[in-house]
């Protein structure tokens, strides 16, 4: 069992004929992922690494029973791509594109929520379930096992690069991951830390979760509230980057569109305090993760448990 992505995922890539999307498709296929179709208007009849390309997602879904799509289209076209996915009955949409207009994001995220469609991103490097050898997006690149090995630890990261780094730290500690997810660095994203913690809580093959967070947004405070009311009961290891930002002028944007502190909200120190009070294991330094996991988690929760 895993969350959101598993052997039953039947995947399409919107914008597959673009350079990055084609590279991602090749790496995913090599890993064993079922990339069944690609979509680029005007390119029907072509193929990318043997993946057939269609003009519309509707035809890809009808032909291949696709239930998951990865969006690699330019920012101005993400809105239409997501609405097309919603209209075709897709269950899961992963948006890799960054710099999506915020008004567009507000509109398609609202539509997706109304339709019961799970959206990861925008600005996500993807997600991976090593046990099933399935990944979507650029996550893991072409050397997946360097960071991602099967196990029983969930990973959630605001930063794309730190999704791999956090999973590598889990591996260094002697554990593996169930599902690792880059939720996206934008201020407006479809799936929050709280949302994923609820899914990991219900997953019998996830025993603990690691989160990597940044300044800005209320996601960590929402997660702390979930812990406080008993909605997540598994060990939770949290690192909040960017405490230096608290000494900078209010309203300064740091790196990602979502990393902004305003009116005292979004401060790393506040997030850390709330999570610690709720019972999470909050790291002062990211390098503390391996030692803390080894100290708190049972040695039986190893990489071999998922083999």
Q: In angstroms, rounded to a whole number, what is the distance separating the alpha carbons of residues 205 and 298?
A: 14
Rounded CA separation 125/115 (Å): 24
Contact 241, 289 (CB under 8 A): no
- In a 3-state reduction of DSSP, which class is residue 213? strand
User: Considering only CA atoms, which of 153, 88, 85 is closest in space to residue 119?
Assistant: 85
d(CA 226, CA 193) in angstroms, rounded, equals 10
The answer to whether 302 and 174 are in contact (CB under 8 A) is yes
Tell me the DSSP string of 114-137: HHT-EEE-SS---EEEGGGTEEES
| Percent of the chain as helix, strand, coil, to the nearest 5 | 40, 20, 40
Residues involved in catalysis: 256
């Amino acid at each position: 069992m895993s969350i959101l992505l598993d052997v039953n995922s039947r995947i399409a890539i919107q914008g597959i004929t673009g350079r990055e999307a084609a590279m991602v498709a090749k790496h995913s296929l090599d890993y064993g992922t079922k990339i069944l179709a690609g979509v680029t208007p005007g390119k029907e009849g072509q193929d990318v690494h043997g993946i057939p390309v269609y003009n519309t997602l509707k035809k890809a879904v009808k032909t291949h029973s696709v239930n998951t799509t990865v969006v690699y289209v330019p920012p101005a076209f993400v809105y239409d791509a997501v609405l097309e996915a919603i209209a075709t009955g897709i269950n899961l949409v992963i948006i890799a594109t960054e710099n999506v207009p915020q008004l567009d994001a507000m509109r398609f995220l609202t539509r997706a929520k109304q339709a019961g469609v799970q959206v990861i991103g925008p600005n996500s490097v993807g997600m991976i379930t090593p046990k099933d050898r399935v990944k979507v997006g650029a996550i893991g690149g072409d050397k997946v096992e360097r960071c991602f090995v099967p196990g029983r630890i969930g990973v959630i990261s605001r930063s794309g690069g730190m999704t791999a780094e956090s999973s590598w730290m889990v591996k260094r500690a002697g554990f593996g991951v169930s599902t690792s997810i880059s939720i996206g660095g934008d201020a407006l994203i479809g799936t929050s830390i709280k949302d994923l913690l609820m899914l990991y809580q219900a997953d019998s093959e996830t025993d603990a979760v690691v989160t990597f967070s940044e300044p800005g947004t209320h996601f960590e405070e929402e997660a702390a509230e979930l812990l406080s009311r008993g909605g997540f009961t598994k060990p939770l290891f949290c690192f909040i980057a960017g405490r230096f930002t608290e000494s900078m002028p209010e309203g300064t944007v740091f790196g990602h569109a979502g990393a902004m502190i305003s009116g005292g909200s979004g401060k790393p120190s506040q997030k850390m305090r709330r999570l610690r009070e709720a019972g999470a294991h909050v790291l002062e330094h990211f390098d503390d993760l391996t030692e803390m996991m080894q100290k708190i988690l049972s040695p039986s929760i190893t990489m071999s448990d998922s083999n």
